Chains A and B, each alone.
Chain A
Amino acid sequence: MFGNLVSMRLLAPAVVLGAVALFLFLASAFVRRRETGRWLFPGAALIGLAAALVTLLETVRLQYLPDGYNCLLGGCTAFLGMLAYDPLAVFFQALVMLAAVAAVVLTVGSPAVPQARRGEYFGLILAMTVGMCLLVSANHLLMLYVALEAVSLCSYLLTGFDAKARSAEAGLKYALYGGVASAVMLFGLSWWYGLFGSLNLQSLHFCMLGSPALSPGESGAAVVALLFILAGFGFKIAAVPFHQWCPDAYEGAPTPIAALLSVAPKLSGFAVLLRFAFNLLFDPRDPETLAYAPAQLEWALWAIAALSALSMTIGNLAAIPQNNLKRLLAYSSIAHAGYLLMGVVGGSQGGIAAVSLYGAVYLVMNLGAFAVVAAVERATGSEDLLAFHGLAKRSPLLAVCMAVFLLALTGLPPTAGFVGKVYLFASLLKGGGSLPVILAVVGIVNTVISLYFYARVLRAMFLLPPEPGLPERIAPDGAGLLAAALAVLTLALGVFFGPLAMLAEWSAGFVR
């Protein structure tokens, strides 16, 4: 456990991001000339993100030095136990920063955000990234709540950033749903504090099982508190009973923000959920047997499994009739929250590695799909399925990229999505017992359902004639190039998945 001064070095990436965010806010107020802002704002944001990534790698390097902090081998806590610095945190911080880079790149040529407000816009993206960095390494329920709120507040504002009326509407809906969810979670946290007197994540397991016999009423209250806390996580990752905000928010938000929201907060939510679930369900005194979810806590595992099955099924079924690509991808992202939850249910080191791996793959393919939507939206002014009719003739590059992403999202073989799904199912089935088998069957059935609505988009792009009145050709631009790069990455990771799998294994290293 590190004191405050040493911890500052480990916090460096977040500090860098925060400083650049502040600079952007001030610059947006003081820079008058629009031409200066055009290159200054995205440039500063990209430099800030790059600097943060470098400092993040530097903290990793620092820890492998002979007299380094040696955190990444066992995981350690900084700021007197408030933040955890371990491979899981580093891995997901890097993912979140990369997602923010993609959002900045997608915004540069996008018509969505008014040029005059881009300074605050990029500043908010960086502020949200700071929140997500803190969230993935939160090791204390207070820190967790504060970081969650920081991420949420920035995402409400970014969702409502567009000048269109539906953007403000989406932001308001998101803020009201989110406010209720975070208040429910906080009420659960307050009860948890009252029952067990501790907010540290490391003490979760002992609180639930080791505390001196709770009365029946008190243990009932503990169960309710835990369910309330899970509701907060469910909102952040958009799992099913808490998903209603998701399609509206994505449809109303500027497309780059929809892309960012569909990956970054979701993945950071998953990182902290992994930390939470693992600390709760796993007994650290018993490292040999790796007993995941002892009998008294099996109901919690069933609750997470129920969330997973519901998210997959309802997400996929609701996606079928959608005609707006952003809405369709929103429901698909709800379904993917369900797939990722399978890894949490699988538990143990393998489950965490599978969630990390699939998280990284999901980041690549989902950002790619949104990049194609952004490119088409810029050319045609619409993200409706009609705008995708005959895309193969108008822009073969975009159509092929989109096909790769959709196949990957379905989980078909030559792509990275297939590898991710294999790892998830394998980690789920390794445990044995009836629950994993049931969940795996639900997952496979859902993969088949999802093929149907992804194939609808493929049919529109390749088989249907172009709608009259739309531009004949779509010239490749920044978003198109990003999509192409991500498509290559999706295919490459589908074949050479070794390095990424190793990184994912490493990220699960905080479990021992």
Chain B
Amino acid sequence: MTSVGLHHFVLLSAVLFSLGIACAIARRNAVAILVGIELMLNAAALNLAAFSRFGALRAEGQLFVLFVIVLAAAEAVVGLALILAIHRRLRSVDVHRADSLKG
């Protein structure tokens, strides 16, 4: 048995990132795409926290994590606000129905 080390965190974050990008690409629901983006952001935040815990420079990575959390929330708010706006007009959050712009 081994203790939990850097590799475990990095592996977990890689899995999270892959799941996030798969979700963002494959889903048709705009909210689900936003969830995928949040997964990707959190994967990066996990990476930063793990690297700052196991590396030499501690504060920088942890500070970055705080900023990522705040920015992820801001992005979710902006994304959801736009989804609400489009829902009011199309009565749907399916991105395949939002197809008036083409070319």
Residue numbers of A with Cβ under 8 A of B are 142, 145-146, 149, 153, 156-157, 160, 165-166, 168-173, 175-176, 179-180, 182-184, 186-187, 189-191, 193-194, 197-199, 247-248, 251-252, 321-322, 324, 327
A160 vs B50: C-alpha distance when bound (angstroms): 37
Considering only CB atoms, which chain A residue lies closest to B37 in the complex?
A: A179
Interface residues of B in 58-103 (CB under 8 A from A): 60-61, 63-64, 67-68, 71, 74-75, 78-79, 81-83, 85-86, 89-90, 95, 98, 100-101, 103
CB within 8 A of B40: which of A180, A247, A324?
A180
With A156-B78, A176-B95, A247-B103 already in contact, the answer to whether A193 and B71 are too (CB < 8 A) is: no
Residue numbers of B with Cβ under 8 A of A are 10, 13, 17, 20-21, 24, 30, 33-34, 36-37, 40-41, 43-45, 47-48, 50-52, 55-57, 60-61, 63-64, 67-68, 71, 74-75, 78-79, 81-83, 85-86, 89-90, 95, 98, 100-101, 103
CB within 8 A of A183: which of B41, B55, B67?
B41
Nearest first, the 3 closest Cβ-Cβ pairs linking A and B are: A183-B40, A194-B51, A190-B47
Considering only CB atoms, which chain A residue lies closest to B6 in the complex?
A: A194
Would you give the shortest CB distance from B67 to chain A, in whole angstroms?
6
CB within 8 A of B79: which of A146, A179, A190?
A179
CB within 8 A of A193: which of B51, B82, B90?
B51
CB within 8 A of A165: which of B60, B68, B100?
B100
B64 touches A168 (CB 8 A): no
B44 touches A176 (CB 8 A): no
With A172-B98, A186-B41, A194-B51 already in contact, the answer to whether A142 and B60 are too (CB < 8 A) is: yes
Name the A residues within 8 Å of B63 (CB-CB). 142
A248 vs B40: C-alpha distance when bound (angstroms): 24
Q: Is the interface of B mostly helix, strand, loop or mixed?
A: helix
With A142-B67, A145-B67, A176-B79 already in contact, the answer to whether A168 and B55 are too (CB < 8 A) is: no
Would you give the shortest CB distance from A227 to chain B, in whole angstroms?
14
Considering only CB atoms, which chain A residue lies closest to B51 in the complex?
A: A194
Would you give the shortest CB distance from A418 to chain B, in whole angstroms?
30
Considering only CB atoms, which chain B residue lies closest to A146 in the complex?
A: B67
A153 touches B74 (CB 8 A): yes
B101 touches A251 (CB 8 A): yes
A157 vs B43: C-alpha distance when bound (angstroms): 26
Would you give the shortest CB distance from A296 to chain B, in whole angstroms?
24
Given contacts A173-B101, A194-B50, A194-B51, 14 further A-B contacts (CB under 8 A): A149-B71, A153-B75, A168-B82, A169-B86, A171-B82, A180-B36, A183-B20, A187-B44, A191-B47, A193-B48, A193-B60, A197-B51, A199-B64, A327-B103
With A180-B37, A191-B47, A248-B101 already in contact, the answer to whether A172 and B60 are too (CB < 8 A) is: no
A193 vs B40: C-alpha distance when bound (angstroms): 17
Considering only CB atoms, which chain A residue lies closest to B9 in the complex?
A: A194
